[in-house]
Amino acid sequence: MPIAFIFPGQGGQFVGQARSWLDRDPALSEILALADEVSGRPVTRLCLEGPLEELSKTANLQPAVVATSLMGHRLMRAAGLKPDFACGHSLGEFSALCAAGVFDERTALALVSRRGAIMEEAALKNPGAMTAILGLSAEDLGAVCELARNEGPVVMANFNTPDQIVISGDIRAVAAAGKYVKMKNGKVLPLPLSGAFHSPLMAAAQEKFAAELEKTDFRPPTCQVVPNSTARPTDDPAEIKARLLTQMTSPVLWTQTVQTLAEAGVTDFREAWPKPYLTSLIKKSLPRDTAPRAEAFA
C-alpha cells in the first residue's frame, strides 16, 4: 500500500526536540551542525537546550524545525521506509521536498533560514495574529471573516481538520472575528505566533523570498508531492517552485491534502517528528471506518 511521509511546520516545537533522535544515532548531529552553519544561528543549542521562547522565534524556529525533521527523515530511510508521496504542513513543505529529492539538505536549510528571517521581519513591520477556530463550518467562518474585515485584513489560513480552521490577519480583525465566532457558539484558541502567516500581511515577505527561490534549482521529485496551496499531487519542478512561493500568502489546505492522499490509496502516514503533532489532524480528517495508520516516527 502507498506510504506518505508527512512533515510538520511551526507549532509542535519543544525544548529537547532533537535529543531522542540524536541519542539513537549520534551521526545525525551533522544535520544540526549544518543548520548552525547555513543559518548563522545556534540551532543545535536551541533544539537541545532552548529556551523555548528563543527557539520559537520564527527566524530560529524555521531552520530548527526543518533540521529536526530531516533527522527523522534519515532515520525513516534507514529503517527501510520509502515514500510514494511526501507533503508538509506549511514550513514542512521544505522538508518534504528534500525527502523527495527536489533539493538537498543544505539547500533546504538555507532556504528556510532566509525565509524565516524574511517572515520575522515582515511580522515586526506588520504585526498580526493567528487563532484556531473550532466548531464552525468554512462557510460560516468565511462570513465571520467578511464582517471582521471592517477592522482590517483577516482570512482563513489553515484548514487543519473539518472542525478546525485557523484564521490569520490584522490583530484587531482577528480579535473581532473571535468575538463573532463566540456569538455563534464556536471555540476560539489564540495561537502563540507574532505573524499573520498565510495572509496578505506576508505579501512583502513573499516578494523578497521570490528572489531566493528564483536562483535555486529544483529537480524532479522521486515521488509525488502535494503542495499546500492546491492539495493536488504533482511531479513538475516548475509548479512545485511556484506553489512553494504562493503558499506564503495562501491557505494551507491540509484537510484536502490528507483526503487527496487517502483517495490515492494511502493508508500509512509517517510523520517525521519526535512526538505526534500532525498525526491527530490526519485521523480527524478521514472517516473513522478507514482506520488509517498515522503515527510519528518517535
Residues labelled as active-site residues = 90, 198
Tell how strand 293-296 and strand 154-161 pair up. unpaired
CA 267 to CA 40: how far, in whole Å?
39
Retrieve residue 200's grid coordinates.
496578505
β-sheet bridge partners, residue 271? 6, 296
H or E element, residue 79: none
Contact in structure between 123 and 40 (CB atoms under 8 Å): no
Q: What angle do CA 114, 65, 217 make, to 5 degrees?
A: 45
CA 169 to CA 130: how far, in whole Å?
7
In this structure, the number of other CB atoms found within 10 A of the CB of residue 290 comes to 9
Handedness of CA 191, 196, 198, 199 (dihedral sign): positive
